[in-house]
Amino acid sequence: MELEGIKWEFYYFSIFTNFNIHMINWKGDITPAPPYIASIFNYYLSSQLEGYQEYDELTLELAKQMPGYLGYESFKHDGRGTFISYWKDMDAVRAWAMEPKHIEAKQKGKSTWYRYYHSVIAEVKSMHVHSI
């Protein structure tokens, strides 16, 4: 379906057979009670993406294994993206920031993969969910 120049892709299974919609991929499908930390990464990809997909998948799997990891959500459109990871506390965020493969990925991102990025660390004090 196309709406105002934006191509929307819908998958039959997720729309018609799974009415329990989740935007956040919580670890163990358990939504944590606030407070917790959101690490928000916004970016524009460059045209030089050699190795990007592999590191993207690798770092996500590594993050999932880190103590204090709670979940993530991610979306991309036309080279722009946002990745939000959720963490128990700032100690968990700092531990993830020091993970060697994550450091390596950040260095490659700065030198090659991203035209622009910014990151924000925020404390989530409340969360409200609505679905029909």
CA–CA gap between residue 3 and residue 111 (Å, rounded): 35
- Domain assignment present for 96: yes
* Predicted pLDDT at 131: 78
- Domain assignment present for 2: no
* Predicted pLDDT at 132: 76
Ranges of the chain whose pLDDT falls below 50: 1-3, 6-19
Against a cut of 0.85, is the pTM above it? Answer: no
* Predicted pLDDT at 119: 96
SS3 assignment, position 21: coil
Count of domains observed in the chain: 1
Domain around 75: 22-124
Residues 6+ apart with CB under 8 A from 56: none
* Predicted pLDDT at 23: 87
- Domain assignment present for 6: no
CATH number for position 55: 3.30.70.100
- Domain assignment present for 116: yes
* Predicted pLDDT at 6: 46
